[in-house]
């Protein structure tokens, strides 16, 4: 009986001791923390932040909607600017008649150099004193007069052409009517006309008149030189004077009057040319800006896509 009891106790000990020993060798498993739900104040703050962001987005949308622009708005804007440009164009046209008158006077004035050129052709030392283009070669004096005639003729043509172009621009600008169904298209076409025709003619006249001013300066130098040396005791001029075929005193008087007249007329001409240049410098960027706005209007309005 005792032996049976000891065997039973030994078996129970083995069953208990082995698992305990194995458990002692295995590291304990760490417990996974249970997530804690956000507190009520945190949720309220997140909702408030989202609401604020949404309000800002709604405000931006309203701002963008209020800033939206249509092709009609752009056409109205360009129409106003075109009306402003017409004022400068009218100012330019007032000077065209005076420019034309001066160019014609200069043409006759330069043509009158022929006898002086003939006289200077036999006076080598006389020629070399002339502070104008081609000085020193009598044959090139003739070329100077010839080139001047061509340049002045081209200036006259440009002036008359611009008078026609500018008048067409003014007439079309005055005819713009916002109540017409073709108003947007009329404005767009006039913008293109201003850029391609009006501005081109304007700058061409500017270039031609600038050349005329340069010719005036050269002509004045020519006359001043002739006026200074005619009547001098230079032997080289003795033959030259014979070509003038007029009384020396009368010739000197004529030269003095011509020089004074050219100086005064050139001064007035250059003053008006400066005013014209100022309007060109002002109008050029205005027209280029009109083209940029017109391009935007055409991109917004499908009707312009085919134009």
Is 155 a member of any domain?
Answer: yes
Is 22 a member of any domain?
Answer: no
> Structure pTM?
0.67
For 52, left (φ over 0), alpha (ψ -120 to 50), or beta? alpha
Show the domain range for 264. 72-306
The total number of structural domains that make up the chain: 1
Is 273 a member of any domain?
Answer: yes
Is 29 a member of any domain?
Answer: no
pLDDT at position 18, please?
Answer: 44
Is 140 a member of any domain?
Answer: yes
Return d(Cα 246, Cα 145) in angstroms, integer: 22
Is 6 a member of any domain?
Answer: no
Is 267 a member of any domain?
Answer: yes
Q: Which of 42, 307, 76 is nearest to 176 (CA)?
A: 76
Q: pLDDT of the chain along its 307 residues, tens only? A: 444 444 444 444 444 444 444 444 444 545 445 445 556 667 777 777 777 877 787 776 666 555 567 888 899 999 999 999 999 999 999 999 999 999 999 888 877 766 665 555 444 444 454 444 434 445 556 677 778 888 999 999 999 999 999 999 999 999 999 999 999 999 999 999 999 999 999 999 999 999 999 888 887 877 776 666 655 555 445 545 554 545 455 556 666 777 788 889 999 999 999 999 999 999 999 999 999 999 988 888 766 655 5
Tokens for 158, please give them: 């440009």
Is 131 a member of any domain?
Answer: yes
Collect all residues with Cβ–Cβ distance below 8 Å to 46 and sequence separation of at least 6: none
């Amino acid at each position: 009986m005792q032996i049976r009891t000891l065997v039973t106790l030994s078996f129970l000990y083995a069953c208990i001791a082995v698992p305990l020993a194995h458990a002692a060798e295995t590291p304990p498993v760490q417990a996974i923390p249970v997530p804690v739900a956000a507190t009520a104040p945190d949720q309220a703050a997140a909702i408030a932040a989202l609401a604020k962001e949404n309000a800002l987005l709604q405000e931006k949308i309203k701002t963008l909607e209020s800033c939206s622009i249509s092709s009609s708005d752009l056409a109205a804007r360009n129409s106003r600017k075109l009306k402003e440009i017409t004022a400068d164009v009218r100012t330019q046209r007032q000077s065209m008649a005076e420019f034309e008158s001066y160019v014609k006077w200069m043409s006759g004035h330069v043509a009158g150099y022929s006898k002086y050129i003939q006289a200077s052709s036999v006076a080598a030392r006389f020629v070399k004193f002339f502070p104008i283009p081609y000085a020193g070669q009598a044959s090139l004096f003739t070329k100077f007069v010839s080139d001047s005639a061509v340049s002045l003729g081209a200036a006259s043509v440009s002036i008359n052409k611009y008078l026609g172009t500018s008048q067409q621009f003014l007439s079309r600008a005055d005819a713009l009517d916002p109540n017409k169904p073709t108003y947007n298209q009329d404005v767009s076409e006039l913008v293109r006309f201003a850029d391609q025709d009006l501005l081109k003619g304007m700058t061409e006249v500017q270039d031609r008149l600038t050349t005329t001013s340069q010719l005036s300066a050269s002509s004045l130098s020519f006359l001043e030189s002739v006026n200074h040396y005619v009547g001098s005791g230079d032997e080289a001029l003795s033959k030259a004077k014979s070509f003038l075929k007029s009384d020396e005193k009368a010739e000197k008087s004529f030269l003095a009057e011509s020089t004074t007249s050219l100086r005064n007329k050139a001064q007035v001409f250059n003053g008006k040319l400066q005013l014209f240049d100022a309007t060109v410098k002002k109008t050029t960027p205005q027209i280029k800006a009109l083209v940029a706005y017109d391009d935007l209007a055409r991109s917004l309005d499908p009707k312009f896509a085919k134009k």
